[in-house]
Amino acid sequence: MKKLILAALVALLAFGAVAQAKEIRVLLANHPYGDLLKAAIPQFEQQTGIKVNVEQYQEGQLSTKLATEFATGSSTVDVFMTRPLQDGKMFYKNGWYKALTNYDFSDFPKNALQPVTFGTKIYTVPILTEWEVLYYRVDLLKAAGIAVPKTLAELETAAAKLNKDGIAGIASRGKGNPGVTQFASYLYNYGGTFLDKGKAVFNSKDAIEAFRYYGKLLGNYGPAGVTAMSWDNIMPLFQAGKIAMWTDAGTFYGQIIDPSKSQVPKEDVGIANFPAGPKASSPYIVVSWGVAISNKTKHLDAAQQFLDWATSSDMQKKGLAQLAIAVARNSPWQDKATLAQVPQGLIDTRNVAAKTGIPYDRPYMSAVGEARDYVGEVIVEAINTKGSSSNLQKLADQKVSQVNDLLMDTGEYGVP
Amino acid sequence: MKTGFLERNLNVIFPLPAVLFVVLMMVFPVGYTLFLSFTNWSLTSGMPLAFVGFQSYLRVFQEPRFLDAIGRTFAFTGMAMALETIIGVTVAIVLNREFRGKGLIKLLLLLPLVATPVAVGIVFNLFYDPTIGLANWALVQAGLPKLEWVSNSATVLPSLVLVDTWQWTPMIVLITLAGLASLPADPYESARVDGANAAQILWRITLPMLLPTILTAMILRLIDALKTFDIIFAMTSGGPGYSSETLNILGFRYSFEYFRMGQASVILVSLFIIVLASSLGIMKARARVEG
């Protein structure tokens, strides 16, 4: 009898251990794709028998949460959403990502894999891409007799004409740190860039002209208080019909044509390619989100299964078709049934950005958060002075040297 | 007679849980922050932490943003405390008599105190919005020019002070009301016999007797205002630019946005010392008033 009880106990313990191994902790972002995964997790649990404990955070909090948990070495996170351009270098350097050697990356564009590859290994599966577009009010442009701007010069003229009757001619992020990414396309189209061969160069002649243009545009024709605005402040204004044109990521298209969220009728909202500048027509097109496995995971098999499922072509098709979010895989964009449900403007602007775009929208470095603040200072100064600041070059020189200091601190200076 | 171990050591055992709690929850975090402030721990460098003496202190103390943040912390605290004390004491004196609906007014006064600061921040952000906000609508109705409130570096700090004042003045009112209720009646009677008028009674009797209570309320507000984080973070996260970046916000950004844990600890140790020194200052003043 005793033996029987003992055997039962052992069996129970073993079962418990197995059951425990079949449980993973997943951290997702407050993003439509995170919501999509969360809603589908019960099916995954049913199919695989793996229990998924899911937590969702706003993007900044997610990075902070992951970094603090990983830094203390006591993290129980198995799989997480991550922003390759924001977290990537720091997470890789600290050894927090698991190298993904068992994953088939053949369905991904090459430039999408570039920022998630370190050495010869890939550490994150790209899930979403973002590129900058121009949103505009079809009705207002028509009433003013203006064609959709194709160049930055035309954009400025249009903004000046449309800036009346309590409606701002144009909006774009003016808050320093978050503004950096949307300023990027302006910078590139003026022929400038943030970093070149591991050195900060956003004080070049071209870059200063881009800062001046951005400052002039937003300072003169932007909404009141634009230097305090990120996308979450601008979107409600656009939805309330207070903004005529807006440059930001194409991701928001679904939300601004959603009649339950916007007072502007769907047919009055247009989406166009980001206007060309004097030197180039290269908006950013970046991998905004990916999924990675924690290097410390104790449940690698289950984590791998979840990763495969969350980044599968089927899941990506669902995201593109149902939510109009720009997924990273190629196959959804080649699938006719999926594309039939996607707004044409999104498909067209992606095709252009994918051809000529640049895969970075910020200084790509470990200390990116701090570097963005420095670039942001120049943006804010430019806007506050409507682009006319006599101090701009000096300020940019100073910020370049501060970013170079950061690169040196982290051993990335001069490393291409 | 033999007594048990417990009985012999009651004086140690009874306070033990409280002492353990204080050590674990207060002494350890403060001590650990102090320890970190002498290291160069930074997550972005990918290097293990190393002991560097006062190097992090030197670096932070030379940072203009740090010095600006100290100034801003004091400016915010000074403005908020002055407004809250003046309005709070005035309202308390006005309310300090019997009238119909006094209970209701006291209840209404409590509401801002129990509101969640982040929710307060979100609501006030909508209120302050320069294009669609209620604040500018009201200004326009009154024939005044529009303001950019928290969206402009010149007006952001006073605008935040107004929110803090809205939320925390009621606390001063309640403490002052309690103080007023406990004042002795004799001085008033003799003053009236001597023919003192209402203003004289207020300035010569009520306020001097109330001063220790007011100073107590001020100490509580001072400590809180110096450390204000939630309202500022929810409303501006330190912006536009760095124009509402107080020490606590700067400390947060250094630790959780720049991941410079060593230098962030320096900022927090500095804030700790500032809060401690300021509170001691007012406590001394209070002792002098009472003494």
Ordered by start, the domain boundaries in chain A are: 2-123+288-354, 130-284+359-409
pLDDT band at residue B291 using 50, 70 and 90 as cut-offs:
low
DSSP A13-74: HHHHHHHHHTEEEEEEESSHHHHHHHHHHHHHHHHH--EEEEEEE-HHHHHHHHHHHHHHT-
Q: Burial letters for A78-107: b for 16+ Cβ neighbours within 10 Å, e otherwise?
A: bbbbbbbbbbbbbbbbbebbbbbeeeeeee
Residue whose tokens read 């007797």: B209
Specify if B234 maps to a domain: yes
How far is the CA of B214 from the CAs of B73, B173, B182, B286, in angstroms? 22, 10, 13, 9
> Rounded to a whole number, what is the distance in Å from the CA of A90 to chain B's nearest CA?
5
Q: Is B39 helix (H, G, I), strand (E, B) or coil?
A: strand
Q: How far apart are CA B49 and CA B27, in angstroms?
A: 22
Q: What is the rounded average pLDDT for all residues in chain A?
A: 91
Residue A323 clears pLDDT 90, i.e. is over it: no
pLDDT band at residue A135 using 50, 70 and 90 as cut-offs:
very high
At a CB cut-off of 8 Å and minimum separation 6, what does B189 contact? Answer: none
Tell me, what's the pLDDT at B28? Answer: 92
Please indicate whether residue B76 or residue B284 has the higher confidence score (pLDDT): B76
Specify if B206 maps to a domain: yes
Strands A51-57, A23-29: pairing is: parallel
Instruction: State whether A225 and B44 contact (CB < 8 Å).
Output: no
Instruction: State whether A175 and B256 contact (CB < 8 Å).
Output: no
Tell me, what's the pLDDT at A241? Answer: 94
Tell me, what's the pLDDT at A8? Answer: 62
Q: How many CA atoms lie within 13 A of A73 on its CB side?
A: 1
Search chain A and give the residue with CA nearest B129.
A225
Residue whose tokens read 């009055």: A268
- Tell me the one-letter amino acid at B22: V
Model confidence over A334-366: pLDDT tens digits? 999 999 988 888 899 998 988 888 999 999 999
Q: Which helix (H) or strand (E) holds A264?
A: none
Q: What is the rounded average pLDDT for all residues in chain B?
A: 90
Nearest to B258 among A229, A236, A370 (CB): A370
Residue A10 clears pLDDT 60, i.e. is over it: no
Model confidence over A286-303: pLDDT tens digits? 999 999 999 999 999 999
Helices B261-290 & B28-37 angle (0-180, nearest 10): 130
Domain A130-284+359-409 of CATH type 3.30.70.260: no
Question: Chain A partners of B151 at a C-beta cutoff of 8 Å?
Answer: 224-229
Mean pLDDT of all residues in B58-72: 93
End-to-end CA separation in angstroms for chain A: 71
> Rounded to a whole number, what is the distance in Å from the CA of B153 to chain A's nearest CA?
9
Domain count, chain B: 1
Tell me, what's the pLDDT at B124? Answer: 94
pLDDT band at residue A182 using 50, 70 and 90 as cut-offs:
very high
- Tell me the one-letter amino acid at A328: A
Q: How far apart are CA B80 and CA A157, in angstroms?
A: 45
A–B interface: beta-carbon pairs under 8 A? 92
Specify if B1 maps to a domain: no
Please indicate whether residue A153 or residue B203 has the higher confidence score (pLDDT): A153
pLDDT band at residue B101 using 50, 70 and 90 as cut-offs:
confident
pLDDT band at residue B2 using 50, 70 and 90 as cut-offs:
low
Q: Which helix (H) or strand (E) holds B223?
A: helix B207-226
Helices B261-290 & B64-95 angle (0-180, nearest 10): 40
Helices B261-290 & B247-256 angle (0-180, nearest 10): 160
Q: How far apart are CA A135 and CA A346, in angstroms?
A: 11
- Tell me the one-letter amino acid at B131: T
Residue A16 clears pLDDT 80, i.e. is over it: no
Query: B230 near B249, Cβ under 8 Å?
Result: no
- Interface probe for B, chosen from A66, A70, A227 (most Cβ of B below 10 Å), is A227
Q: How far apart are CA A23 and CA A298, in angstroms?
A: 10
Question: Chain A partners of B257 at a C-beta cutoff of 8 Å?
Answer: 60, 64, 369-370, 373
Tell me, what's the pLDDT at A258? Answer: 84
Phi, psi of B184 (to 5 degrees): -70, 150
How far is the CA of A339 from the CAs of A79, A263, A317, A347, in angstroms? 29, 27, 9, 8
Tell me, what's the pLDDT at B188? Answer: 87
Tell me, what's the pLDDT at B288? Answer: 86
Tell me, what's the pLDDT at A6? Answer: 60
Specify if B272 maps to a domain: yes
Model confidence over B41-52: pLDDT tens digits? 888 887 788 899
pLDDT band at residue B195 using 50, 70 and 90 as cut-offs:
confident
Tell me which residue of A59, A409, A77 sits closest to B262, measured CA to CA: A409
Q: How far apart are CA A412 and CA A398, in angstroms?
A: 19
Model confidence over A249-260: pLDDT tens digits? 998 888 888 888
Please state which of the ranges A125-129, B64-68, B131-135, B245-249 shows the lowest mean pLDDT: B131-135
Q: Is B157 helix (H, G, I), strand (E, B) or coil?
A: helix
Model confidence over A27-53: pLDDT tens digits? 999 888 999 999 999 999 999 999 999
Q: How far apart are CA A132 and CA A285, in angstroms?
A: 7
Nearest to A90 among B129, B259, B261 (CB): B259
CATH code of domain A2-123+288-354: 3.40.190.10
Nearest to B131 among A175, A224, A370 (CB): A224
Judge whether A2-123+288-354 and A130-284+359-409 match in fold: yes
Tell me which residue of A350, A256, A308, A267 sits closest to A127, measured CA to CA: A308
Search chain A and give the residue with CA nearest B49.
A71
End-to-end CA separation in angstroms for chain B: 48
Query: A283 near A247, Cβ under 8 Å?
Result: no
At a CB cut-off of 8 Å and minimum separation 6, what does A237 contact? Answer: A168, A171, A223, A243, B131, B132
Tell me, what's the pLDDT at A13? Answer: 54
Is the complex ipTM more than 0.85?
Answer: no
| Residues of chain B contacting A, Cβ within 8 Å | 42-46, 129-132, 146, 148-153, 236, 239-241, 253, 256-261
Q: What's the residue count for chain A?
A: 416
- Domain limits for position B132: 59-290
pLDDT band at residue B141 using 50, 70 and 90 as cut-offs:
very high
In chain A, % of residues over pLDDT 70:
95
pLDDT band at residue B239 using 50, 70 and 90 as cut-offs:
confident
Tell me which residue of B49, B90, B52, B61 sits closest to B267, measured CA to CA: B61
Model confidence over A189-229: pLDDT tens digits? 999 999 999 999 999 999 999 999 999 999 999 999 999 99
Positive or negative, the CA dihedral B207, B213, B217, B219 is positive
Nearest to B132 among A93, A242, A377 (CB): A242
Residue B1 clears pLDDT 60, i.e. is over it: no
Residue ranges of E strands in A152-284: 195-196, 199-200, 245-249, 269-273
Tell me which residue of A196, A154, A203, A189 sits closest to A357, measured CA to CA: A189
CATH number at residue B194: 1.10.3720.10
| Residues of chain A contacting B, Cβ within 8 Å | 60, 64, 67-68, 71, 90, 93-94, 166, 168, 175-176, 223-229, 233, 236-237, 240, 242, 366-367, 369-370, 373, 376-377, 380, 384, 406, 409-411
Nearest to B131 among A237, A384, A406 (CB): A237
Model confidence over A60-96: pLDDT tens digits? 889 999 998 998 888 899 999 999 999 999 999 999 9
